[in-house]
Amino acid sequence: MSDVLRPQAAVGTAAWKGLVIQPAVIVLILAAFVIWLKLGNLSATERATLNPGDLLAYTGQHLALTFVSSAIVLAGAIPLGVLLTRRPFVKVSGVILALANFGQAAPAIGLVVLLAFWLGFSFWSAVVALVVYAALPVLRNTMVGIQGVDERLVESARGMGMSSFSVLMRVELPLAVPVMLSGIRTALVLIVGSATLATFIGAGGLGLLITTGVNLFLPRVLVSGALLVALLALLIDWLGRVVEHYARPKGLR
């Protein structure tokens, strides 16, 4: 489990600069893109495909896919991860982790298409594929975060008469937060990126621009789609970092 995503030490001014620079870059690129859309030397087809109404609609679909999948991943993988660190379930945790590893190792596009044949070509097939694909980092980091809490702290909490539930809520989870959050951020970025593939099963999203760009040989449309996906991913990543920065318990470094 060497490839566990460790939280980067968010310390001092360096971290602060990172947190400020990232959104600034995102806004700059977005502004440049909008100006290019307005003033750029685009063909009529390109202009028609890249009209603001459609762009907003695609982005909306993309975000909807992302949020629904993320919500399901968080609601499922975190409690599951917690459960698997409880004593009665420790034995099966290896099996579940292996399954999750398998899910992530499968190529996303294959997963999307396979699920579509099974569940039909729809929004929900895409969501299921994204959830299967992105559950691993959250699950794994939840487990690793909790397992990484010093054994002696848990013992001293029990020794003070805390119930095992309150040890979980007041000691284990708060101390696992940095590791868990970094897994969550990774999952969100994975989902934003992979949601691009939803277009192959008719679930829309910014991937549509890319497929259109390829099919009709409109490289500018293709690049616009890729750029917007990248910007969204950067934005989500930034939000994750901000949350990590503020949710890290005081007293931890």
**Where along the sequence are the contacts to other proteins (CB under 8 A)?**
152-153, 155-163, 171, 174-175, 249-253
Complex with other proteins: residue 65 or 144, whichever CB lies closer: 144
- State the nearest-atom distance from the C-beta of 249 to other proteins, in Å: 4
Give the residue with the Cβ less far from other proteins, 11 or 105: 11
C-beta of 54: minimal distance to other proteins in Å?
48
Q: Are 82 and 141 in contact (CB under 8 A)?
A: no
**Quick check: 143 and 179 in contact, CB under 8 A?**
no
- Residue by residue, DSSP assigns 2-44 as TT--PPP---HHHHHHHHHHHHHHHHHHHHHHHHHHHHS---H
Task: Give whichever of 53 and 249 is closer to other proteins, judged by the CB atom.
Answer: 249
H-helix segments, the chain: 12-39, 44-49, 52-84, 90-105, 108-119, 123-147, 151-159, 164-167, 173-194, 207-215, 219-247
Query: Distance between CA atoms of 229 and 50, rounded to whole angstroms?
Result: 14
In single-letter form, the type of residue at position 50 comes to L
Q: How far is the CB of 49 from other proteins (least distance, A)?
A: 51
Report in angstroms how near the CB of residue 164 gets to other proteins at its nearest.
9
Dig out the tokens for 222 from the structure.
């293709």
Residue with smaller CB distance to other proteins, 9 or 252: 252
53 vs 159 by CB, closer to other proteins: 159
Minimum distance from residue 251 beta carbon to other proteins (Å): 3
Write down the least CB distance from residue 162 to other proteins, Å: 7
- Cβ closest to other proteins, residue 53 vs residue 161: 161
Pick 55 or 154: Cβ nearer other proteins? 154
How far apart, in whole angstroms, are the C-alpha atoms of residue 178 and residue 170?
15
Task: Compute the CA torsion angle 203, 206, 209, 212 (nearest 10 deg).
Answer: -20
Angle in degrees, 0-180, between the axes of helices 52-84 and 219-247, rounded to the nearest 10: 40
Least Å distance, CB 38 to other proteins, is 50
